[in-house]
Amino acid sequence: MDTSISRPPRLKSLELQGYKTFAIKTPFTFAAAITAVVGPNGSGKSNIADSIRWVLGEQSYSLLRGKRTEDMIFSGSESRPRASMASVTITFDNSDGWLPIEFTEVTISRRAYRDGQNEYYLNGERVRLRDVTELLASCGLAQRTYTIIGQGLVDAALSLKAEERRRLFEEAAGIGLYRNRREEALRRLVNTRRNLERAQDILAELRPRLRSLERQAKRASVYEQVKEDLKAGLEIWYGYHWYHLLQKVTEARARAEHKARIRDELRDQQETTEQELSTTRRRIDILRSQLHKWNQQVSGLYGEREVLGTKLAVAQERLRWLFEQEELMQSEMASLEQTRSGVVERLVRVRENGERTQQELADAEAARRELVQTGEIDSSQRERLLSQARDARKAQEGLVAEQAIWDTRQMQLEERLVSLESRRAEIQLRVEEAAANLNSTREEAHAAKTSMDEAMRVRQDVEGDETALRAELARLEQAQLRQMSQISDLSARYAGLDARLQVLRARPDEIERIVGRLTDARLRGLVGRFDEHLQVSPEHQKAIAAVLGEFGEGLAFHTLDDILATLDWMENAGMGERAAMLPIRPPRIAPLLEPPLDPDCVGNASRLVRVSAEYRSAVELLLGRTLVVKNREAACRLLVELPLDARLVTLAGDVYYPTGQILIGFGDQEQARRETRRTVAMSLEEVGKGLRVAEVEAERLSEEIKAIKHKLAIAQQALRSAGEDEQNARFRCEQTELAMQTAAHQQELILAQQHSLEEEITQFEEERKRRQGQGKAFEANRAQLEQELQAAIAMAERAEPSLEMARVEARLEVARRTTDEVDSRIADLEERLRALGGDLKQWTDRWEANRAEQECKRSEVAESGKGLQKIKEQLAVLSAQIVPAEEELAEVESARSAIETEESQARAILRISEREHSDAQIELARREEELVSLKRRIEDDFGMVAFDPDSDTPGQEPLPLEGFVKRLQKVDELPLEYEAQVNRLRAQLRRVGAVNPEAQREFHEVKQRTDFLTAQVDDLRQAESQIREVIAELDLLMEREFRKTYDAVAVAFRQAFTRLFGGGSAHLVLTDPDDMTRTGIDIEARLPGRREQGLAVLSGGERSLTACALIFALLKVSPTPFCVL
């Protein structure tokens, strides 16, 4: 497919030199898809395939068409001598990591010499054939069963036996490496078994000799001299240890009393510190309550200050605006006054011109009257025309006057509109600035409000956490006090129980130590404690325990020789402990004492004990000469009939001897001691568990208190910081709120001004539009009147009687026109003067109202300032109260922390002191028990002993048996190694036999070798087990991979067979389906149109196609990196 063609070829090149027919170095480079090698017969095409198989590690020379290594080397020709070496190098592209090696290009070389030696190289490094095989096993190139298909190998795939055909499927499944490892593991298993047998044989030879050498190495010196030396040594040894131990008991008792006094003093200090801590905490609560009250007052004052500040800011802003308005009004009034002055001046000049024009008009009218009187004008027609002309002129003059007034008003409107537009632009700019300022202050106010809310929330959270931490700390401290009291009680109980148990366990512990050391030494013959193998009914326990005595807790050995060997080992080890030893197979046993026919005689003691047959002889040795009776009367009655070596024991545990000795209450004493020991041990374990739990709980509480205190300190610091942050945030919020309110009010004022200005501009715009319509009407009327006037004048002129009259009329007309114009201008100026007076009056009224409002706002600002000053003074007073209180609170909290630290340290010291007191009590009990135990040993060794009368011996009373009692003198100093010498002298009393000087050395040598071989045997057995596990895992893995590959190949084979034959069917058959690791594989085929038959009856071509189908199926299921056909 395209993917396979696009990737680089895995087989890159092949290089031959001296291999078969390739005498010189011959390289072959392979293409990405298919490389065909063509040539005539005998040119060496098959040698190329053989060289690939050979370089990949093929060891079967029959597949290489040769018999030995020399056949692989160029044998020479007529023109070339034979080669001494054959070399083949194959190169793979490993860029996609299909080979398990960290190289992108892998080169494998094989060299063969005529002496039969073969060398393998991997990327230039010499390796073993096994390394090459394991490298190629994971990719299907190890066996090369179907990777390189030479001449005749296609048909050979069907000629193989079913078991041999399995190799093809193993190659496809990639389990060749696993099979090689399994075979290697089997070889290792055989070698391991062989080595194990040899080691066991050697050990069987060494162990008897080792035992003999062990007995010979434990013999020493002469018995008689050692006995006298031991007696003298024991007097000195006991004299030293008794008084030395007595001094230790006295010191331990003094130390325990001293620790008790220290503990009581520390308890008093602890109580004083706790009272001081409680007082400090109450003071802190009072200060916090007072500070909380003052802070609430401060918060109220801050609220009042915020209201007054807002009111003050609004008043100040209003006052500033009034100042601006006043300046604007003054500017407007000055401008109107200046305009009014100019209008007055113009009016004066126009009136002067009016007076001159009136004079000219009067002169013209007088001249006309004079002409009229002379009779030059008589015609009524002319008078009518002149009258019409005058009317037209008057109408024209009136229209001109109205137009002049309109022009003046229009000019005023235009000037006012320009002024208003300029003011509107200014106000619009102020509106935008006010809006931007308001938005900015609003954002700042929102941020400040958010910051204040966050600071308040943080402060409340921290305050809640601090309160919770204080409550938790108080709870933990109370729990710790209760726990410490419990620990103190449990420690005292534990010390008493442990001391009592030490006393009760003195003897059993000594036996257990002996058993432990003997067990560690791996001595032969040790069975264990004797009483562990006995079973006695409850009614006979007291009697049997009284008779057994020390042997009830004695050590049991197989033989007397085992006991003697143990004594020798104890002697060399320096062990001087007391112990009762008995053999379970004694060398001699006294005959059993038959019980008399008496109803009060229970029977022979040995027959009342249930024991295994192995221990029966030992029981008879100890109890065979003892009779058990019911009571004292029966014992007294039967005592006279007993042999001298026999004895009687009652069910109550009283022992009677025929010679008159009597032991009373030994059974009860032993049983009571065991029961008490068991009860005390159980109580001690229970108390110990409770003490450990209490100590763990106390430690946990201590850690939690420490953590809570640390968190509380952090919370207090955070609370102070949060309070400061909240105050700062509140101040910033108040400032920004005030600024926002000021900006909002300023914006409202400016918007009001803008609204008023817009209304005024709208009114003026409407008036201007209306007047513009009037102006157009004035122009039309004026043109009409002008036409009428010209027509009247023309008609009047045609009716003129004389030139002089015409001049007078013209002069009169000019004078009248000039007079009318002057009157119109005067009227216009007077109208303008009245309008300016009205505007000036309006601005004056507004200015006076502004001044009045300024006075009111100044009064309001003053009152707000006084209120703020008063609040400031109150805040100062509260601050003067809060700051010292906070400082005092900080000091008290610091003092509380110090007291808490001191209290925690005092508690820890008290706990240590209580533990030390308990340890001292335990040490005292142990010393006293050691003293009692030592006294018992002294009495066992010397009998009745009198101690130095100057010594403070507990329970010692003067003995009046002078001469019968051994007096133990005080020894101040024990010679060096004296104790070891005494122990050796004790052990040497039991020495017997001759001494072999070389026995110790020989024993150690044989022992060392025996231990080494024993360890080797253990290692070999472990290795054998591991190899078996590896083989089992490999079998399971091979079976799973083989089954998966077989199923896939079976499907692919059926498909390939049907495709090659154009029909029919074929399938694979397992010869042994129950054993997937060894089963063979058969092929059953049914050609198209035929019945199912075996491979033997197929023709050559049919066999070849069937083999091809099998090979194609293998290649499809497990494709190899390349294939040579």
Angle ∠(879,884,890) on CA atoms, nearest 5: 120
What CATH number should be reported for the domain whose range is 1-139? 3.40.50.300
DSSP 8-class letter at 530: G
Q: Is 697 helix (H, G, I), strand (E, B) or coil?
A: helix
Q: What pLDDT digit, counting tens, does each position of 1000-1021 carry?
A: 667 677 778 888 878 878 887 8
How does 687-705 read in b/e, with b if 16+ C-beta sit within 10 Å?
Answer: beebbeebbebbeebbeeb
Q: How confident is the model at residue 89, as a pLDDT? A: 92
CA gap 61, 598 in Å, rounded: 101
Asked whether residue 1 carries a pLDDT value surpassing 50, the answer given is no
Q: What pLDDT digit, counting tens, does each position of 169-224 carry?
A: 666 566 666 676 777 778 877 887 888 788 778 877 877 777 776 666 555 334 44
CA gap 407, 588 in Å, rounded: 166
CA gap 623, 547 in Å, rounded: 7
- pTM here is 0.35
CA gap 243, 953 in Å, rounded: 9
**Sheet of strand 555-557, all strands in order from the earlier edge strand to the far edge:** 526-529, 555-557, 581-583
Q: Which residues partner with 529 through β-bridges?
A: 555
Angle ∠(468,470,474) on CA atoms, nearest 5: 120
CA gap 412, 934 in Å, rounded: 138
Q: What pLDDT digit, counting tens, does each position of 931-990 carry?
A: 787 777 777 666 666 665 544 454 444 444 444 456 666 777 766 666 666 666 666 555
Q: Is 31 helix (H, G, I), strand (E, B) or coil?
A: coil
Residue showing tokens 């002067």: 352
Of the candidates 475, 262, 267, 273, the residue with the CA atom closest to the CA atom of residue 902: 273
CA gap 335, 322 in Å, rounded: 19
Residue 746 binned pLDDT confidence (cut-offs 50, 70, 90): low
CA gap 1036, 780 in Å, rounded: 125
DSSP 8-class letter at 953: -
Q: Helices 803-942 and 223-373 meet at what angle, rounded to 10?
A: 170
Of the candidates 166, 128, 168, 165, the residue with the CA atom closest to the CA atom of residue 148: 168
Number of alpha helices (DSSP H) and beta strands (DSSP E) in the chain? 18, 20
Q: How confident is the model at residue 7, as a pLDDT? A: 58
CA gap 903, 910 in Å, rounded: 10
Length of the chain: 1125
Contacts 24+ apart (CB under 8 A), 931-934: 931/242, 931/245, 931/246, 931/249, 932/503, 932/506, 933/506, 934/238, 934/241, 934/242, 934/245
Are 1087 and 1080 in contact, with CB atoms under 8 Å apart? no
Q: Which two tokens stand for residue 637?
A: 């009655």
Tell me the average pLDDT across 15-30.
85
Q: Which residues partner with 148 through β-bridges?
A: 1124
Domain map (residue ranges) of the chain: 1-139, 523-676
Q: How confident is the model at residue 1106, as a pLDDT? A: 73
DSSP assignment of 578-634 equals ---EEESS-S--PPPPPPPS-TTEEEEGGGGEE--GGGHHHHHHHHTTEEEESSHHH
Q: What pLDDT digit, counting tens, does each position of 266-316 carry?
A: 888 878 888 887 888 788 888 878 877 887 777 777 777 777 777 777 777
Q: How confident is the model at residue 417, as a pLDDT? A: 67
Q: Find the helix or strand (DSSP H, E) in which 1070 lies.
A: strand 1065-1070
CA gap 12, 381 in Å, rounded: 141
581-583/26-29 β-pairing: unpaired
Q: What is the signed CA dihedral for 367, 370, 376, 381, rounded to 10 degrees?
A: 70
Are 902 and 478 in contact, with CB atoms under 8 Å apart? no
Are 757 and 424 in contact, with CB atoms under 8 Å apart? yes
Q: Which two tokens stand for residue 519?
A: 């067990």
Are 564 and 992 in contact, with CB atoms under 8 Å apart? yes
CA gap 953, 409 in Å, rounded: 143
Q: Which two tokens stand for residue 1?
A: 């497919």
CA gap 1014, 635 in Å, rounded: 58
CA gap 385, 389 in Å, rounded: 6
Of the candidates 288, 296, 299, the residue with the CA atom closest to the CA atom of residue 466: 288
Asked whether residue 424 carries a pLDDT value surpassing 60, the answer given is yes
Tell me the average pLDDT across 887-901.
78
Q: How confident is the model at residue 113, as a pLDDT? A: 92
The amino acid sitting at 959 is L
For the chain, the straight-line distance linking the first and the last C-alpha, in angstroms and rounded, comes to: 20
Q: Is 292 helix (H, G, I), strand (E, B) or coil?
A: helix
Of the candidates 752, 996, 1111, 965, the residue with the CA atom closest to the CA atom of residue 213: 996
Q: Find the helix or strand (DSSP H, E) in which 1088 lies.
A: none
Q: How confident is the model at residue 121, as a pLDDT? A: 92
Q: Which two tokens stand for residue 1085?
A: 């085929």
Q: What pLDDT digit, counting tens, does each position of 465-498 carry?
A: 777 877 777 787 777 777 777 776 777 677 666 6
Q: How confident is the model at residue 296, as a pLDDT? A: 78
Alpha-carbon 536 to chain mean position: 61
Contacts 24+ apart (CB under 8 A), 751-754: 751/431, 751/434, 753/427, 754/424, 754/427, 754/428, 754/431
The amino acid sitting at 1122 is F
Asked whether residue 662 carries a pLDDT value surpassing 50, the answer given is yes
Are 169 and 1042 in contact, with CB atoms under 8 Å apart? yes
Report the topology of domain 523-676: Alpha-Beta Plaits (3.30.70)
Alpha-carbon 656 to chain mean position: 77
Asked whether residue 874 carries a pLDDT value surpassing 70, the answer given is yes
Q: Which two tokens stand for residue 324?
A: 């601006």
CA gap 392, 400 in Å, rounded: 12
What does the mean pLDDT of the chain come to?
A: 73
Residue 1063 binned pLDDT confidence (cut-offs 50, 70, 90): confident
Tell me the average pLDDT across 876-902.
79
Q: How confident is the model at residue 412, as a pLDDT? A: 63
Sign of CA dihedral 679, 680, 681, 682: positive
Q: How confident is the model at residue 217, as a pLDDT? A: 59
Helix ranges restricted to H, 162-222: 162-173, 176-216
Residue 612 binned pLDDT confidence (cut-offs 50, 70, 90): confident
Q: Where are the beta strands (DSSP E) in 857-900?
A: none
Of the candidates 14, 18, 12, the residue with the CA atom closest to the CA atom of residue 111: 18
Are 1042 and 170 in contact, with CB atoms under 8 Å apart? yes
Q: Which two tokens stand for residue 395?
A: 């109408």
Q: Is 813 helix (H, G, I), strand (E, B) or coil?
A: helix
DSSP 8-class letter at 234: H
CA gap 803, 716 in Å, rounded: 122
